[in-house]
Amino acid sequence: MSNLEEEPNSHEKIENNKIKIGTLGNFVLAAFVILIIGTGALTYYLIHTEKENYEKQYSDIITNLPENEIDTENKVESIANIIDSAITEVTNQTSNTTTDGTDKKLMNESLVVLYNGLILDTSKMDEVTLQYVDTTSEQSDKYIITYYSYENYRKKESSLGILSSQVYDGLAKIEDVGKIAISEDYEAIPRSIKVVNTVPTIVSDNNPKISDYDTVKTLITDLDGNGTEEYILVLANKTTGFSKITAIDSKGSKIADLASIEKSKWKKDTNTEYYLSINNIEIIDVDNDGIMEILIEIPHATGNSTISLLKYNNGKLQGKTDIECSLLNE
């Protein structure tokens, strides 16, 4: 009799458990539905708000467009196109920033080359004047970027260029860079450059007057990448006080005298001797075309030096030659 009385109690417990499980399941399902709805609403709000911001930013552009270029029906599509363009522009700017952890400006659209911290115009092969950075210009900050520096015919570590204290009123140099600094990272010295204190036999055999010089430095390299080497000679006669820089082709024939200075053009108010030296020469690809240019630093009595840019390619030399240097005030 007692067993019969316990059986309903067991059924009652099962039913109670079913009710509890069902209630818990409904609660979980309701919470999941609310979470999905909330997430969707938040996503819609963020997208809608972002779109409104872009539409507001570029609505004046649409308003100012001529009627024949855009009509009312196409405004929504045009706004979408402008928004897409804006996003693409921001993405491109982000991809152009450097990523080595230092604080830098965006890269210039055009290549920047510095020589001793001054701007070198590499647009043509000629004798060019080095330029200071005009700190009063809104564009001056574009030179505060990462530079890849070169000295002694080798690449140095990259560094962030900084404006120097003013040299003249409103004018400054870029400091913390090498002798030659380039705003883009490419192989500016794609082929080896050797420096020797002798004259190669092929050169001396074809230029017997070189023996008149008692000091010589020879730079040997393949300037144009055609597989043959050219020679840049720095020659000085310590008796006459004459020195010059000359270019010789791979067969030993003279291409041209590039620059020279004689004793009568030294400074007259000092006993210091001046000879053109290897320090007046750089060999480097400054326009990223695979051909290494010859850079000759031309001294002047006052002011900054000028740079003679020369390009030798397939037997032809572009640039100014036979430059007579002078340290006299004229």
- Other C-beta atoms closer than 10 Å to the C-beta of 20 total 10
Q: What is the pLDDT of residues 256-288, one digit of tens each?
A: 999 999 999 999 887 789 999 999 999 999 999
**pTM summary value:** 0.68
- State the average pLDDT over residues 81-105: 45
Question: What pLDDT is recorded for position 70?
Answer: 45
Q: What is the pLDDT of residues 69-84, one digit of tens each?
A: 445 455 555 555 655 5
CA distance 29 to 20: 14
pLDDT higher than threshold 80 for residue 304: yes
What residues are paired with 195 via a beta bridge? 219
pLDDT higher than threshold 80 for residue 329: yes
Residue with tokens 């007579």: 324
Residue with tokens 């000679």: 233
The domains of the chain are located at 2-95, 113-182, 194-324
Question: What pLDDT is recorded for position 300?
Answer: 92
Please enumerate, as own/partner, the contacts of 84-90 that have beta carbons within 8 Å and a separation of 24 or more. 86/54, 86/57, 86/58
Q: What is the percent of the chain where pLDDT is above 70?
A: 68
- State the average pLDDT over residues 91-111: 47
**Confidence class for position 121, pLDDT limits 50, 70, 90:** very high
pLDDT higher than threshold 80 for residue 42: no
Q: What is the pLDDT of residues 153-196, one digit of tens each?
A: 999 999 999 999 888 889 999 999 999 999 999 999 999 999 99
The one-letter amino acid code at 70 reads: I
Question: What pLDDT is recorded for position 106?
Answer: 43
**Confidence class for position 48, pLDDT limits 50, 70, 90:** low
The per-residue DSSP string of 45-102 comes to HHHHHHHHHHHHHHHHHHHHS-TTT--GGGHHHHHHHHHHHHHHHHHHHHHTS--SSS
Q: What is the percent of the chain where pLDDT is above 90?
A: 60
Question: What pLDDT is recorded for position 52?
Answer: 61
